[in-house]
Amino acid sequence: MSLVRTCAMALSLSVSALAVSAACADEQPRPLPPPALDTPQSADGSQVVVLSGGCFWGMQGVFEHVKGVRQVVAGYSGGARNTANYQDVSEGNTGHAESVQITFDPRQISYGELLRVFFSVAEDPTELNRQSPDEGTNYRSNIFYADPAQERIARSYIAQLGHAHAFSKPIVTRVDKLTGFYPAENYHQDYLIHNPDSAYIVINDMPKIAALKRIYPAMYRDAPVMVSMRPPS
């Protein structure tokens, strides 16, 4: 049986074990060049992108701090509606990946700039079917494109980063057509904001937010946008 580790299971690990796992990540956050191909600034009110890159707690937490992002919803993409729940997805055989649906203002930030944050800060695109310390296809690196323009930009940027040898190993991020996004259970929404002292969050996800602020200060905002209006405890 293949090893599948869920975010919740990772919480049972000791702090020292989580620290070793995080420290052993192949790629550390660093600035990347902007995409050569990107969407032009648009007057449209909002656009949406769906991304997967490990546990959705951290992915959501990172993008909630990006200027121009209006909402980030944690959920599931890649599988059927009837298996879009945490218990089934955590088994690793539904086709789903833990994902985030990012609604953004194209007048403030572009689709390509969101991919820049995705590749450099939010996840390690060279890890296949895992994001340390979580393992399984449900933690894969995946871009789900909503239209041909998003697909072209995603594939172009992956090729650009490959040609530039931006990473020490090949990028394994999948680029697939978005066939559905299903919001996760309520207790997963804004999890990082409501559980900032969790060992898993402190070790694996808070450094990503710190990296966003350090690497892309112009894109960082201190006050995160939240799915709910309930203030963090």
By annotation, the residues acting in catalysis are: 55
Q: Which two tokens stand for residue 205?
A: 């996800």
Name residue 73's beta-bridge partners: 101
- Residue count (the chain): 233
Contact 202, 13 (CB under 8 A): no
